[in-house]
Amino acid sequence: MNIPPAKGYLLCSCLTLLLCTVLGCNQQAGTNMRQNSEPFLSTVDSFAKQQSLLTFYDPSDLQHQHELILSGASSEVISTNGDAKLAVEFSPLHNISELRIQPAQPWNLSPFKQANLALDVENTGATSIQMYLSIENNQGQSRRYSVSLASDFKGTVYVPVSGKEADTDSGLWGDAPPWTTEDKMLVWRSWRSAGVELETIAALNFFTIGILEPKSVQIDNIRLRQNPPTDPNWLVNIIDQYGQNARLDTPLKVHSDEQLQQLAQQELRQLQESSGMPHRSKFGGYTNAPRREATGYFRTEKVNGKWWMVDPEGYLFFSHGPANVRMANMSTITGIDYRDPSVRVRHVDELTPEDSMGIVAVSDQVRATRYVSSELRHNMFEWLPEYSDPLADHYSYRRSTHKGPVPHGETYSFYQANLERRYGETEAKSYLKKWQEVTMQRMHDWGFTSFGNWVDPAFYAADKVPYFANGWIIGDYQTLSGETNHWGLMPDPFDPVFAQRAKSTIDAIAKDVKASPWCVGIFIDNEKSWGEREGSVNARYGVILDALSKNSQTSPAKAAFSAYLKQKYSTIEQLNSAWNSDLKDWQALDNGVVMTDYSAQHVQDLSTMLAMLGEQYFQVVHGTLAEVLPKHLYMGARMANWGMPDEIITASLKYSDVLSFNIYEEGMQEHFWQFLEKADLPVVIGEFHIGTATDSGMFNPGIVHAANQSDRARMYKDYMQSVLSKPYMVGAHWFQYIDEPISGRAFDGENANIGFVTAADIPYPELIQAVKEVTSTMYQNRVAEQGP
């Protein structure tokens, strides 16, 4: 898509950024930036202060100045009082708007063992910007970071690229700041386990994702700086007894049990007085609009060109609320493990994934084999209870982790301990019952209409808040591997064991749901590794290429694909002609093939086989749900926007009652999601959030960044407006109800400010006020825009 000229500048319709001096353009082309003319320093001693990588200067002939763009980003060099900067504007007309800076020769970082990359940045826009930075080496690998800059930000941002501060994997997704500075540190977006080395920098990619309005910054003085001396206590005693940042006071920080209890009583009084939102049915539907047919269960209906859910009583319903309202995945690795292997035993008939398990009791016999497995992790905590302490009930164990330096070990839930401190324990686990009661009161007071995915089954029988049940199909079935396996390998849906495990999972869900009308629908699985929507052949069709490399005797998917190819091509010669291959016979295909060059017909066949894979998956899941839970909506596959190939979306259309996507962007861009209008099915957002590290005390803002809590509230309202304005949207679920542990959730180290409440169960007032502003008007506005 072309971008119209902005601010009267001339656009250069390039597909690669023309950084003229860097890439060797002639002087007449209008030089916008230059590398430091001095030779790159080669010793640490001479790097004692800093080394400039790239500076910008005013071109001698302003008539030849050009806007320089890549994927929707525009730029120009500006000069004020001899101070030249690169002004960059990122466009909302592109899902990813990117500016790439590529030196003529990669910058060599190998001599610098203790360095950070820094640059001066000014946000010249009216609102905050989340600016991403991908630092790419000369193998095409990259480390990805991002930072939120307030609308008035002007200063230095940095990220450690070498040394202990860059290389230490503490099990935290977002790091504790390694030294005291006024500069702002970028946070990791990729994982250290990817093992990307930065001995060279071949490119710096600055970009935005899914913005709703233009964003602009000025960049200057990109440089390497020598790190200050490493603080020996950098990661020591950084977490206090309430699971909070021990080194930073924040507005909602708790300092005593008495304060926690006082805040609880204050909120309980307020909730007791609340009557919730007006014009709501028993199930949260909108009673001030014409009633539709009541079936006793949730369903969907298109009303005057706009999709809606309809509640069991026949009222229009929009599903909005928090996901992950549960104790599972709220514990953190303590750095303790047990030598007794019995604590790590698994059983083939298990139905609950490791990260969905709650508190797991560990016997005294096992605890007697206790040892410190990670001093780094163990030393993070100012306090952990003795096993004899009443708060020791909140210890648990993880038999495996997905990311991080600790493969398994003891965990502790500060959140659950804080609930016991907050409400006391008058009988066994009474604080959990009180938490459930308060949580449901909050849902009504805040105006939410439902829980999202991963809600504690304890809420199912309450008959007070609609919910979505969920399950993972786990088991000993065959798998396929693609380029993106973020949450694990892709199941082989052609394997009969997969169908058996699907039936076991859905039977277990049905046992919990008990055909309740309060269950809106069912989510099965999450963000599967289908492949990427765009990119290389390997990125899009990696799972199919992996299947083709297998033997048909051992891989059900390969057997299905071999049968398809044999049916399409009557002879191996015809297949070889179509694929530019040289397979000897059909047996060679069955044995396994690996190719690196792909003809157009080969790619088309890969696309067809990916569609077959999706078709088989959805047939199994939908068919089983229709048999076991016929009255509940099937909510689709919760596809992530990094993994939603067209072939899988098309396959899901046949079998899903509602499509579901996890959209971690600033909102739903009109142009990027327009394909959903053609799909003509109701859509729900399974996950979104906005967080900040500025005034939350957390080390990680989350996937989408705000500048502070007020900005977080603004961005939430903008996101919801982008959702509610779409005629195909019927819901949006925020991930998640509670902030993640600041010391990282046990499963993968995520430690973001993405909750409506803190680790001490205290609501964020700015965000809750914004929620009430949205929920108090969402039905009225949506009906008024195109009334039924």
**The amino acid at 385:** P
Q: For residues 255 and 278, what is the distance between their CA atoms, to the nearest angstrom? A: 37
pLDDT, residue 515, reads: 96
Strand ranges in 33-128 using DSSP code E only, listed in sequence order: 33-35, 50-56, 67-68, 74-80, 83-90, 96-101, 107-108, 115-123
Strand ranges in 506-592 using DSSP code E only, listed in sequence order: 519-524
Nearest residue to 439 via CA among 745, 431, 244, 261: 431
527: left (phi over 0), alpha (psi -120 to 50) or beta: left
> What is the residue whose two structure tokens read 């497995």?
373
DSSP conformation letters of 250-261? -TT----HHHHH
Q: Say which DSSP state 197 is in.
A: -
Q: Say which DSSP state 381 is in.
A: B
pLDDT, residue 788, reads: 43
Joined together, the tokens standing for residue 167 give 């290389």
Joined together, the tokens standing for residue 244 give 């909070």
**Span(s) in the chain for CATH 2.60.120.430:** 11-226
pLDDT digits (tens, 9 = 90+) for 640-673: 887 789 999 999 999 999 999 999 999 999 999 9
pTM exceeds cut of 0.85:
yes
Nearest residue to 560 via CA among 609, 490, 501, 622: 609
Q: For residues 686 and 528, what is the distance between their CA atoms, to the nearest angstrom? A: 13
pLDDT digits (tens, 9 = 90+) for 430-446: 999 999 999 999 999 99
Backbone angles phi and psi of 568, in degrees to 5: -75, -40
**The amino acid at 188:** W
Q: 430: how many CB neighbours lie within 10 A of its CB?
A: 13
**Span(s) in the chain for CATH 3.20.20.80:** 429-531+609-778
pLDDT, residue 580, reads: 96
CATH for 429-531+609-778, among 3.20.20.80, 3.40.605.10, 3.30.70.20, 3.40.50.150? 3.20.20.80
Residues lower than pLDDT 50 in the chain = 1-48, 59-68, 787-788
pLDDT, residue 324, reads: 97
Residue pair 207/158 in contact by the 8 Å Cβ criterion: no
Q: Which residues pair with 83 in a beta bridge?
A: 80
Q: In sequence order, what are the residues at sequence separation of 6 or more whose Cβ sits closer than 8 angstroms to the Cβ of residue 659?
A: 636, 649, 652, 653, 676, 679, 681, 682, 683, 684
Q: For residues 666 and 688, what is the distance between their CA atoms, to the nearest angstrom? A: 9
> What is the residue whose two structure tokens read 């803002």?
701
pLDDT, residue 46, reads: 36
DSSP conformation letters of 122-173? EE-SSS-EEEEEEEE-TTS-EEEEEEEE-TT-EEEEEEE-SSHHHH---S-S
CATH for 11-226, among 1.10.3720.10, 3.40.50.300, 2.60.120.430, 3.30.70.270? 2.60.120.430
In order of 474, 490, 551, 568, 592, the CA distances from 478 in angstroms are: 11, 9, 12, 25, 16
Question: How would you label 393-407 residue by residue, b for 16+ Cβ within 10 Å and e otherwise?
Answer: bbbbbbeebbbbbbe
239: left (phi over 0), alpha (psi -120 to 50) or beta: beta
- 3-state class of 682 per DSSP? coil
Q: For residues 489 and 472, what is the distance between their CA atoms, to the nearest angstrom? A: 13
| CA 588 centroid distance within chain | 41
Q: For residues 286 and 700, what is the distance between their CA atoms, to the nearest angstrom? A: 37
In order of 337, 378, 411, 441, 744, the CA distances from 373 in angstroms are: 6, 8, 12, 42, 17
> What is the residue whose two structure tokens read 């698994």?
346
pLDDT, residue 197, reads: 87
| CA 602 centroid distance within chain | 33
Q: 55: how many CB neighbours lie within 10 A of its CB?
A: 17
| Sign of the dihedral defined by the CA atoms of residues 509, 515, 518, 521, in that order | positive
Q: For residues 760 and 414, what is the distance between their CA atoms, to the nearest angstrom? A: 8
Average pLDDT, the chain: 90
Let me know the angle formed at the C-alpha of 270 by 266 and 272, rounded to the nearest 5 degrees: 115
Q: For residues 70 and 76, what is the distance between their CA atoms, to the nearest angstrom? A: 13
Residue pair 601/578 in contact by the 8 Å Cβ criterion: yes
pLDDT, residue 60, reads: 42
